[in-house]
């Protein structure tokens, strides 16, 4: 069960985002990190019941570090003001699609899929949609899937057909124009700290599973292609 102190800590951190404050409150951070780590471990176990690809993952390797990478950012704040995990077959550093959760006051959500894939990976996913349209559309049009997620993220969606897919059917062209193959759903802050939340979150991931599998099959097919 997630602790409400997570909200309080990150609210205070957002107002005091510097090393001196963080060092003075490090014990508090370690306590909430331990709580979130235990929750992540529980979620790995629940997801592995329907996606064996995540079985055996270490929770600590699925959680994101609190330190921000400020090398190429105008924002030089050293710490993130949210806590999150990505439970992905093979670990979060792979290019495979996975199950994401972020906790921050006013911005709690779960996501599934692959955000900002590299061009070769994006092309591989589009190829899979192009050559297996009926299967992909069955996933997208599943009643429970559609009710929960609505559809793919529209962020940065192309305004015209991507190169090489101009002859795609009208049914799948809208999907080929996506740059991010991601679905998501938000939660109220009061929901995520309830005792039943782990079960509710696991159910959203169960609904995501066919979509995650489809995307990962596209990536696996790309990786299996012999080098020229």
CATH of region 5-224, choose from 3.30.930, 1.10.20, 3.30.2010, 3.40.50: 3.30.930
What does each C-alpha distance from 39 to 48, 86, 128, 171, 200 come to in angstroms? 14, 12, 34, 40, 13
Confidence (pLDDT) at 224: 60
Contact between 108 and 102 (Cβ < 8 Å): yes
- How many Cα atoms occupy the beta-carbon half-sphere of 159 within 13 Å? 0
Q: Are 155 and 80 in contact (CB under 8 A)?
A: no
pLDDT at 227: 43
83 sits in which H/E element? strand 83-87
The Cα 203–Cα 20 span in angstroms is 40
Per-residue exposure over 145-177, b if at least 16 CB sit within 10 Å of its own CB, e if not: beebbeebbeeeeeeeebeebeebeeebbbbbb
**pLDDT value, residue 228:** 41
Task: Give the Cβ contact number of residue 65 at 10 Å.
Answer: 8
**Smallest Cα–Cα separation from 204: which of 154, 152, 147, 138?**
147
Mean pLDDT by groups of 10 residues along the chain of 228 residues = 96 97 98 98 97 94 93 90 93 85 96 94 96 97 96 94 94 96 97 97 97 95 59
8 Å CB contact between 114 and 97? yes
pLDDT at 225: 55
């Amino acid at each position: 069960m997630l602790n409400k102190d997570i909200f309080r800590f990150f609210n205070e951190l957002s107002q005091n985002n510097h090393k001196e404050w963080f060092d003075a409150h490090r014990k508090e951070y370690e306590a909430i990190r331990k709580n979130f780590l235990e929750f992540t471990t529980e979620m790995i176990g629940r997801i592995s019941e329907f996606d064996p690809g995540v079985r055996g993952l270490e929770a600590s390797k699925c959680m994101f570090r609190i330190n921000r990478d400020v090398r190429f950012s105008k924002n030089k704040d050293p710490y993130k003001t949210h806590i999150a995990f990505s439970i992905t077959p093979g670990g979060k550093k792979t290019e495979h699609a996975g199950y994401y959760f972020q906790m921050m006051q006013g911005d709690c959500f779960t996501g599934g899929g692959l955000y900002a894939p590299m061009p070769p990976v994006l092309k591989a996913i589009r190829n899979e949609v192009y050559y297996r349209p009926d299967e992909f559309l069955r996933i997208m049009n599943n009643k429970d899937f559609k009710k929960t997620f609505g559809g793919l993220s529209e962020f940065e969606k192309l305004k015209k057909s991507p190169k090489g897919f101009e002859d795609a059917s009208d049914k799948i062209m809208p999907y080929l124009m996506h740059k991010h193959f991601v679905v998501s759903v938000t939660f109220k802050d009061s929901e995520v700290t309830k005792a039943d939340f782990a079960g509710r979150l696991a159910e959203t991931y169960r609904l995501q599973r066919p979509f995650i599998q489809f995307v990962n099959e596209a990536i696996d097919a790309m990786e299996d292609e012999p080098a020229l």
